[in-house]
Amino acid sequence: MDPKLLDILVCPLCKSPLVYQKAAQELICKADRLAYKIADDIPVMLVDEARKLSAEEIEKIR
């Protein structure tokens, strides 16, 4: 994932910064508890396609 792209991407729902999870290939919005997948190095920034995260999953993210 391009670091410059990570610097400008925000959650499309609340505009919060995202946390890149390299192993899972996801961008995480802690505020909305959503995980946006990255497919072929392209972030899929669609709220309807985001995975909802549990409180436990959010706590594990730095």
Judge whether residue 3 has pLDDT over 90.
no
Cβ atoms of 50 and 31 within 8 Å: the answer is: no
pLDDT band at 8 (very low <50, low <70, confident <90, very high): very high
Cβ atoms of 47 and 34 within 8 Å: the answer is: yes
- Give 50's DSSP letter: P
What span, in angstroms and rounded, lies between the C-alpha atoms of 61 and 1? 18
Nearest CA to 10 out of 58, 39, 34 is that of: 34
Q: Say which amino acid occupies 19.
A: V
Chain segment 10-46, per-residue pLDDT in tens: 999 999 999 999 999 999 999 999 999 999 999 999 9
Span 3-60: which CATH code? 2.20.25.10
- What is the rounded average pLDDT of the residues 1-15? 93
Judge whether residue 62 has pLDDT over 80.
no
> What are the boundaries of each domain within the chain?
3-60
Judge whether residue 53 has pLDDT over 90.
yes
Pair of tokens at residue 51: 């995975």
